Each structure stands twice: as structure tokens, then as C-alpha cells.
């Protein structure tokens, strides 16, 4: 076997090094892997959910997306995705119970809705938070409930960004409430003084309180 | 009425009717079940008659009657079969 020329080898090595240095190394954030266990607790998969939205999955473009905070607030806000995330992040394991009979225990990560509301400044008469979704779906929660229970507006589940089918960019984590209170594809948070406001399913007969421990239907 | 009920054949007839009603109720339960989970499809197939919430309510109301009817049907059918077997044995003994 012929011996390799050391001069050629050195030149080749210098060439490779120079080529590598001349090009900027692309920094691509890879999507994380789904977490299935958290602090000793088994978690459901993000694929354990059933598709039961009113108009099918919504594909929200971040180029056009803003989260509106409107209604009875001192200063209505229109926040782009990055600006919504630009505040303290919280995470907690919460189980979603669907009226259909299935459930999913997930590690949710997001921002506190009360932080967003406080930034807009809730007026004194506001007592209800109405969530509007991209597909026209709405549901509501009492303002005190949102404040006292540190209700999250999640952007991640089990460590990965919400997929479009699961509510990207944001989903309400309405813990201890039936799944129809967990609004996906949130585009607007409206503060209202109407405690009897009925969202999409509530208007059709599901209980407006939506407590998991309470009745499913508004009337027996 | 009581005389009519005393006839074994008539009771078996009732049992058969229970079976048919249970079968229809089972089909209805499946339909309302789909009306909960596949509400978009069922709502359009039933021309808006069954939406998710009404399906859910009806689904709740059908399970107990379905179980009662199915049990009644099975019980009457089993009682009829056992009675028929007993009668056949008695006849065989008499022939022998």
C-alpha cells in the first residue's frame, strides 16, 4: 500500500477546517421528546386525546396571530405569541376529564391567565372570563376561579409545543372542570360582567359550572 | 289477560318482543354513542335532530331499560328452553 503524502493530507485538513469556519453553523431548535413520566407519575400521551372540536383542528399561523385581551379591562391588549410567552412560566400535572368518558393526565406548561389579565387591568365589575377560539368556539370561567386556582394558558404539553390538533398556540387548562371548558386555539380573552354567559356547549345544554364533581347537564 | 299469560307460548312471545325492543334500543344506544363522540357526522346524518348534548342525554336514559329488557329476554328464553326440555324428558319416559 502506498504511503499517503503528508503535505496533501495537511492541505486537505486545512481546507476542511476553513470550509467549516467560513459557513455559519445553523442553530436549529429541535422539537423535544414527549415526557411520559413526571416526578414518579405516569403521564398520558398527547396522542391519547380524541378529536372532538366543533370544526376540526385549526392551523393557526403565528405570522398573523395575536392574543387579544378585551372587554372590561383598563387597557385592551393585543399580544403576539412571543410576547405572551415573555412572562413567568409555570407547569403542573392536570388531568382533563371529557364528558365523553375518557381522560388524559398531562404535564402542562404555560403562563398564568391572571398575569395576562392583570397586565390589561381588570375593571372592578368584571367577574367572568370568556375564552374565544379560532374556530368560533367559546366558553367561560369565573374570574375568581381563574385567579384562585392559578389557571394556566398552556403552550406546551408533556414538554413539547402544543400540536395544532391539541390547540396550538394556546389551550386553557381549566383544572377540575369538564373538557368543554378547556378552550383550544385561544385567540381572545374577554372580561365580562355576565356570570351567566353561556359558551358553545353550555348554550346547548351542558352545565355552565362545568365542575367535574357536579352534573354534566344544565337541567336534569 | 291472566289466562292469556298462563299459556307458556304467550310468555315466550313476550320474551321475543322484549328481544326485538332490546335490539332496537341497542341500535339506538350505539347511534347516540356515536352522536357523542362523532357528533359532527351524526348531526348531519340525522339532519340536525341529534346533536352532541341531546345524544348524550338519550344515551344516559337508554342504558338501564336496555339492560332490563335484555335480561328479561334472556330469562324468558332460558325458562322456555328448560321447560321444553323437561316436557321432552317426561314424554320420553312415558313412551318408554
What is the ipTM for the molecules in this complex? 0.72
Q: Is residue B53 part of a domain?
A: yes
Does the structure show a pLDDT above 90 at B1? no
Domain tally, chain B: 1
Cell reading at B29: 344506544
The residue among A152, A80, A68 whose CA lies nearest residue A109 is: A152
Q: Nearest CB to B37: which of A52, A206, A216?
A: A52
The residue among B12, B51, B21 whose CA lies nearest residue A200 is: B51
> Is the CB of A50 less than 8 angstroms away from the CB of B37?
yes
Q: Is residue B11 part of a domain?
A: no
pLDDT (average), residues A88-115:
97
Does the structure show a pLDDT above 60 at A2? no
Cell reading at B58: 338519550
Per-residue confidence (pLDDT) for residue B90, from 0 to 100: 80
- For A55, residues 6+ apart whose C-beta sits below 8 A from its C-beta are A135, A136, A137
Three-class secondary structure of residue B22 per DSSP: helix
- Residues in a beta bridge with A105: A95
Cell reading at B88: 321432552
Angstrom CA distances, A78 to A65, A117, A169, A187, stand at: 9, 12, 15, 10
Does the structure show a pLDDT above 70 at A14? no
Per-residue confidence (pLDDT) for residue B92, from 0 to 100: 77
The residue among A204, A206, A153, A205 whose CA lies nearest residue A180 is: A206
Cell reading at A217: 347537564
Does the structure show a pLDDT above 50 at A24? no
Per-residue confidence (pLDDT) for residue A11, from 0 to 100: 65
Write a three-state SS string for A152-185: EEEEEECCEECCHHHCCCCEEECCCEEHHHCCCC
Is A165:A218 a contact under the CB 8 Å cutoff? no
Cell reading at A77: 391588549
**pLDDT tens digits, one per residue of A118-127:** 999 999 999 9
Distance from CA of B52 to the nearest CA of A (A): 9
Q: Is residue B73 part of a domain?
A: yes
Is A193:A187 a contact under the CB 8 Å cutoff? no
Q: Is residue B66 part of a domain?
A: yes
pLDDT band at A32 (very low <50, low <70, confident <90, very high): confident
CA separation for the pair B96, B94 (Å, rounded) = 5
**pLDDT tens digits, one per residue of A150-169:** 999 999 999 999 999 999 99
DSSP 8-state code for residue A137: -
- Within 8 A of B34 by CB-CB distance, chain A residues are none
Distance from CA of B50 to the nearest CA of A (A): 12
Percent of chain A with pLDDT over 70: 86
> Is the CB of B39 less than 8 angstroms away from the CB of A217?
no
- For B76, residues 6+ apart whose C-beta sits below 8 A from its C-beta are B11, B12, B14, B15, B18
Per-residue confidence (pLDDT) for residue A103, from 0 to 100: 97
Q: Is residue B5 part of a domain?
A: no
**pLDDT tens digits, one per residue of B26-56:** 999 999 999 999 999 999 999 999 999 999 9
Per-residue confidence (pLDDT) for residue A29, from 0 to 100: 55
CA separation for the pair A129, A150 (Å, rounded) = 13
Residue B95, classified by CB atoms within 10 Å of its CB into exposed (0-12), middle (13-18) or buried (19+), is: exposed
The residue ranking higher by pLDDT, B37 or B8, is: B37
The residue among B20, B15, B59 whose CA lies nearest residue B36 is: B59
CA separation for the pair B71, B79 (Å, rounded) = 12
25-54 of B, contacting A, C-beta below 8 A: 36-37, 39-40, 51-54
Three-class secondary structure of residue A73 per DSSP: strand
Domains by residue range for chain A, with CATH:
40-47+56-201 (3.90.420.10)
> Is the CB of B53 less than 8 angstroms away from the CB of A205?
yes
Q: Is residue B69 part of a domain?
A: yes
pLDDT band at A19 (very low <50, low <70, confident <90, very high): low
Per-residue confidence (pLDDT) for residue A26, from 0 to 100: 53
CA separation for the pair A157, A159 (Å, rounded) = 5
pLDDT (average), residues A200-208:
96
Per-residue confidence (pLDDT) for residue A146, from 0 to 100: 98
Residue A78, classified by CB atoms within 10 Å of its CB into exposed (0-12), middle (13-18) or buried (19+), is: exposed
Q: Return the minimum-mean-pLDDT range out of A96-100, B68-72, B84-88.
A: B84-88
pLDDT band at B94 (very low <50, low <70, confident <90, very high): confident
Q: Is residue B65 part of a domain?
A: yes
Q: Nearest CB to B53: which of A52, A54, A204?
A: A204
Domain span at residue B40? 16-95
pLDDT (average), residues A28-48:
86
pLDDT band at A30 (very low <50, low <70, confident <90, very high): low
CA separation for the pair A85, A112 (Å, rounded) = 10
Amino acid at each position: 500500500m502506498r504511503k499517503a503524502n503528508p503535505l496533501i493530507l495537511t492541505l486537505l485538513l486545512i481546507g476542511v477546517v476553513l470550509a467549516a469556519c467560513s459557513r455559519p453553523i445553523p442553530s436549529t431548535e429541535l422539537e423535544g421528546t414527549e415526557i411520559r413520566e413526571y416526578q414518579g407519575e405516569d403521564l398520558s400521551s398527547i396522542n391519547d386525546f380524541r378529536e372532538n372540536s366543533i370544526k376540526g383542528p385549526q392551523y393557526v399561523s403565528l405570522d398573523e396571530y395575536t392574543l387579544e385581551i378585551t372587554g372590561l379591562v383598563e387597557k385592551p391588549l393585543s399580544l403576539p405569541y412571543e410576547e405572551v410567552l415573555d412572562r413567568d412560566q409555570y407547569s403542573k400535572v392536570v388531568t382533563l376529564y371529557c364528558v365523553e368518558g375518557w381522560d388524559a393526565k398531562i404535564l402542562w406548561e404555560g403562563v398564568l391567565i391572571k398575569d395576562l389579565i392583570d397586565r390589561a387591568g381588570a375593571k372592578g365589575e368584571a367577574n367572568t372570563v370568556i375564552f374565544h377560539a379560532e374556530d368560533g368556539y367559546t366558553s367561560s370561567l369565573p374570574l375568581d376561579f381563574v385567579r384562585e386556582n392559578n389557571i394556566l394558558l398552556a403552550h406546551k404539553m408533556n414538554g413539547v409545543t402544543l400540536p395544532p390538533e391539541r390547540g396550538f398556540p394556546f389551550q386553557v387548562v381549566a383544572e377540575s372542570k369538564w373538557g368543554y371548558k378547556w378552550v383550544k386555539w385561544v385567540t381572545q380573552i374577554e372580561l365580562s360582567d355576565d356570570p351567566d354567559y353561556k359558551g358553545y356547549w353550555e348554550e346547548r345544554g351542558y352545565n355552565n359550572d362545568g365542575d367535574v364533581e357536579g352534573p354534566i347537564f344544565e337541567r336534569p | 289477560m291472566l289466562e292469556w299469560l298462563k299459556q307458556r307460548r304467550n310468555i315466550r312471545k313476550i320474551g321475543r318482543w322484549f328481544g326485538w325492543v332490546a335490539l332496537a334500543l341497542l341500535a339506538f344506544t350505539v347511534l347516540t354513542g356515536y352522536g357523542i363522540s362523532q357528533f359532527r357526522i351524526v348531526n348531519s346524518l340525522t339532519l340536525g335532530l341529534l346533536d352532541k348534548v341531546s345524544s348524550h342525554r338519550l344515551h344516559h336514559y337508554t342504558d338501564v331499560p336496555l339492560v332490563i329488557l335484555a335480561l328479561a329476554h334472556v330469562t324468558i328464553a332460558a325458562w322456555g328452553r328448560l321447560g321444553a326440555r323437561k316436557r321432552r324428558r317426561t314424554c320420553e319416559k312415558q313412551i318408554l
